A and B are shown apart, each in its own frame.
Chain A
Amino acid sequence: MNRIHQKLQEDKKLLSIYFTAGYPSLNDTVQIIQDLERNGVDMIEIGLPFSDPLADGPTIQDSSTAALKNGMTTEKLFEQLARIRETVSIPLIVMGYFNPMLQYGVEAFCKKCSEIGIDGIIMPDLPLDVYQSDFEATFKKYGLLNVFLITPQTSEERIHQIDEASDGFIYMVSSASVTGSKSGFGNEQTDYFERIATMNLKNPQIVGFGIKDAETFQQATKTAKGAIIGSAFIKYLTSNGIESISDFVKTIR
């Protein structure tokens, strides 16, 4: 059974953390993953940096630019992760933009992920119809779950379509914004969370974008299965380095 499926069955709200691979330093990847698992985080999105991350706000943009400058590449990330399953069992998801995956070769990329023990992929700019017509068979062949996004503007019809196409969880973007740009949730978000909760989707939802502290984590997971923190964690790493990750996790729950 895929580690993501297993984790989703646990009777708890899931805390997922995103970080940009190669940031703050090129070789921090493995230690960050180990520390996140050790401190009780439930799932990790490993960000493969891209030169033109158009769904991201300044925090993740800057960390991506720095990571690339540090020398991060797709091949380098796979090298760093080669033995990661000897030390951690937490679900791992690779998140990035589609062009680096396309250049590596979609099949070669999936094969490598499978060998490493990656459980899922999030490529926000790989659209549903292209995934289904061209790549679904390859993802499935290598046991990788593909995670789709929905937003407050996604129509009910399309949410059902995405739910049908998903196997694992749905990444629920909290508000109409790029990453890291909202300060707290208002009625608009709460209404949206509740609207989705009443749709009885077959896949649980995990909320991302705008989760930055205990309060927003609790708001988001009132109805959803879990929440993802990205920009707030990157900011923490920028200020505090990677030595005190436990302190960050403790502020969330």
Chain B
Amino acid sequence: MNYHANEKGYYGEFGGAFIPEMLYPNIEELRRKYLDIMYEESFQKEFHQLLKDYVGRPSPLYFAKRLSEKHNCKIYLKREDLNHTGAHKVNNTIGQILMAQKLGKKRIIAETGAGQHGVATATVCALMGMECIVYMGEIDIERQAPNVARMKMLGAEVRPALSGSRTLKDATNEAIRDWINNPVDTHYIIGSAIGPHPYPDMVTRFQSVISEEIRWQLKEKEGRENPDYVVACIGGGSNAAGTYYHFLNEPQVGIIAVEAAGKGVETGESAATSALGKVGIIHGCKTMLMQTTDGQITEPYSISAGLDYPGVGPMHSHLHKSGRAEFYSATDDEAMTAGLELSQLEGIIPAIETGHAFAIFDHKKFQPDDVVVISLSGRGDKDLQTYIDYFKLA
């Protein structure tokens, strides 16, 4: 079976481009050109140069000795938290800003939930001297104040999404509406492996630098390119897509996804899309999403704003349905506890999103000689207040 997108952007039955005609010219132009532009020698050279000199890649693959002892297997951490701006998000925004330039666009829009993608977008816009508008739910603006300040300092305009639940889903709607209103000079930098084709595939390819590095780094350390398992947390699924990419067609590598269960899958306050979702259309893409029987999209819940999304990228829907990946979900409590454990065993404070990946040990037992690579997708600086409140650290 093939786990990559076909030329129409389908992963099995999932994907495609369910867009109103107003978006067609922009999406069609991108669809026709993205692969040619991306694999031009000059583009690759500039992309990789920036990843090296500006982002600080390759990110280390670190053997976590104490965590390995605790969980009785060989655990490696892919340190995306050490990237400039503190998460994997910047891999994609560097790629897409170069893409926008090649397409002749002058103005950049983006959506953000926790603010990580917004910051990564504002950063590359500052780097390239381009106008940047970031849509963010009014509720998220309140609860992620430090990232709002960072975006403003980087010169971006942060526009509140006032519709619906005023969170990530609505910020995405507003960004799409902006693109409908500004169809000529604007490029929309989507932050996750979601949206209409070619976005999921394009974002995944930009993020695939993660698994590309894991292969040669693991070869150096373990003498083999393939781990036994790769583990990542999933909201929309961009860090997961990048972590899995080069292992998708390597059947001996187990692929593990951890979603946010919120207060518990059955509580009605959850974001575990694979467990709670059904096939439908969200933001231009056919995928698993949380919805009513009537097809109205429902509100997810997670303590981490970055996993607070009612859908999941189409690649992941396919990995789930085909059985290629194992899906688990971690509750708020499990993720917070796993974050604290990583902090105290390895001296690394992860983002709460990332904490969900580390909660895998509550759900799955590995063999002592299993090599398990976990995507450490982001650092926890932005979440300190949440950690402080949760563990009463103050």
Q: Contact mask A45-82 → B, CB, 8 Å, 1/0?
A: 00000111011011001000100100001110000000
Task: Name which residue of chain B comes closest to A155, CB basis.
Answer: B25
Task: Decide: A54 and B294 in contact? CB cutoff 8 A.
Answer: no
Whether A104 touches B177, Cβ cut-off 8 Å, given contacts A124-B21, A151-B21, is no
CB-defined contacts of B22 to chain A, threshold 8 Å: 55, 124, 149, 151, 153, 173, 176, 178
Given contacts A61-B163, A176-B182, whether A51 and B296 have CB atoms under 8 Å apart is yes
Give residues of chain A (5-62) contacting chain B, Cβ–Cβ below 8 Å.
Answer: 50-52, 54-55, 57-58, 61
Q: In the complex, how many angstroms separate the beta carbon of A210 from the nearest chain B beta carbon? A: 12
Per the bound structure, the CA–CA distance linking A196 and B177 in Å amounts to 25
Total number of B residues with any Cβ neighbor in A under 8 Å: 35
Chain A residues within an 8 Å CB radius of B170: 52
Q: Are A54 and B164 in contact (CB under 8 A)?
A: no
Partner of B281, one of A102, A154, A177: A102
Q: Which residue of B lies closest to A76 (CB)?
A: B294
Q: How far is the CB of B327 from chain A (nearest CB, A)?
A: 22
Complex: chain B residue closest to A97, CB-CB: B281
Which residues of the partner chain B approach A149 to less than 8 Å between Cβ atoms?
20-22
| B17 interface residue (CB < 8 Å to A) | yes
Contacts of A181 in B (CB 8 A): 181
A103 near B17: Cβ-Cβ < 8 Å: no
Stretch binding the partner chain, chosen from A85-93, A113-121, A125-133, A239-247: A125-133
Q: Which among A125, A148, A176 is the interface contact of B19 at CB below 8 angstroms?
A: A125
Chain B residue numbers with a CB within 8 Å of A101 are 295
Contact residues on A (Cβ < 8 Å of other chain), bracket: 35 or more
B317 CB to nearest A CB, Å: 15
A124 touches B20 (CB 8 A): yes
Q: How many A-B residue pairs have CB under 8 A?
A: 108
Tell whether, in the assembled complex, residue B297 and residue A52 are in contact, meaning their CB atoms are under 8 Å apart: yes
Q: Known contacts A125-B18, A177-B180, A181-B181; is A100 also within 8 Å of B282 by CB?
A: no
Q: How far is the CB of A168 from chain B (nearest CB, A)?
A: 16
Give 1 or 0 for each of A203-225: 1 = CB within 8 Å of chain B CB.
00000000000000000000000
* B291 CB–A CB distance under 8 Å: yes
Residues in A with CB closer than 8 Å to B291 are 99, 103
CB distance from B148 to the nearest CB of A (A): 23
**Which residues of chain A are near B16, meaning CB under 8 Å?**
130
Q: Is the CB of B293 within 8 A of A103?
A: yes
Contact assessment for A52 and B173 in the assembled complex, using a CB-CB cutoff below 8 Å: yes
A150 at the interface (CB under 8 A from B): yes
CB neighbours of A98 from chain B (8 A) = 18, 281
> Which of B288-334 touch A at CB < 8 Å?
291, 293-298
- Residues in chain A near residue B181, CB distance under 8 A: 176-178, 181
Contact B164 A51 (CB under 8 A): yes
Give every chain A residue within 8 A of B294 (Cβ-Cβ): 73-75, 100, 103-104
Chain B residues with CB under 8 A of A158: 24
The answer for the CA separation of A52 and B291 in the assembled complex, in Å, is 11
How far in angstroms is the closest Cβ of chain A from B143?
A: 22
Query: How far does the Cβ of A223 sit from chain B's closest Cβ, in whole Å?
Result: 20
- CB A188 to nearest CB in B, in angstroms, measures 12
**B280: interface (CB < 8 Å):** yes
Instruction: Tell me, rounded to whole Å, the shortest Cβ–Cβ distance linking B349 to chain A.
Output: 35
Give chain A residues whose Cβ lies under 8 Å from the Cβ of B25: 151, 153-155
Do B182 and A57 have beta carbons less than 8 Å apart? no
Given contacts A54-B177, A65-B164, contact A99 B21 (CB under 8 A): no
Query: Which of A99, A150, A173, A176 is close to B280, meaning CB atoms less than 8 Å apart?
Result: A99
Q: Does B127 contact A (CB under 8 A)?
A: no
A130 to B15, CA, bound (A): 12
| Chain B residues numbered 146-190 whose CB sits less than 8 Å from any CB in chain A | 163-164, 169-170, 173, 176-177, 180-184
| Contact between A54 and B296, CB atoms less than 8 A apart | no
Report the bound CA distance from A61 to B174 in whole Å: 11
Give the chain B neighbours of A73 by CB distance below 8 A. Answer: 294
**Cβ of B284 under 8 Å from chain A:** yes
Within 8 A of A (CB), among B250-297: 278-284, 291, 293-297
In contact, B183 and A55 (Cβ under 8 angstroms)? no
CB pair B19–A102 under 8 Å, yes or no, is no
Q: Which of A54, A58, A148, A177 contacts B21 (CB 8 A)?
A: A148
Establish whether residues B296 and A178, one from each chain, have CB atoms under 8 Å apart when the complex forms.
Answer: no
Can you report 14 A-B residue pairs in the complex whose CB atoms are below 8 A from each other? A65-B164, A99-B280, A99-B282, A99-B295, A100-B296, A101-B295, A103-B293, A104-B295, A124-B22, A125-B18, A148-B21, A149-B22, A153-B184, A178-B181
B binding-site residues for A, Cβ under 8 Å: 16-22, 24-25, 163-164, 169-170, 173, 176-177, 180-184, 278-284, 291, 293-298
A98-B18, A127-B18, A148-B21 given; 19 more Cβ-contact pairs under 8 Å = A52-B164, A54-B173, A54-B176, A54-B180, A73-B294, A74-B295, A75-B294, A99-B297, A102-B280, A102-B295, A125-B281, A125-B284, A151-B22, A153-B184, A154-B21, A154-B24, A154-B25, A158-B24, A177-B180
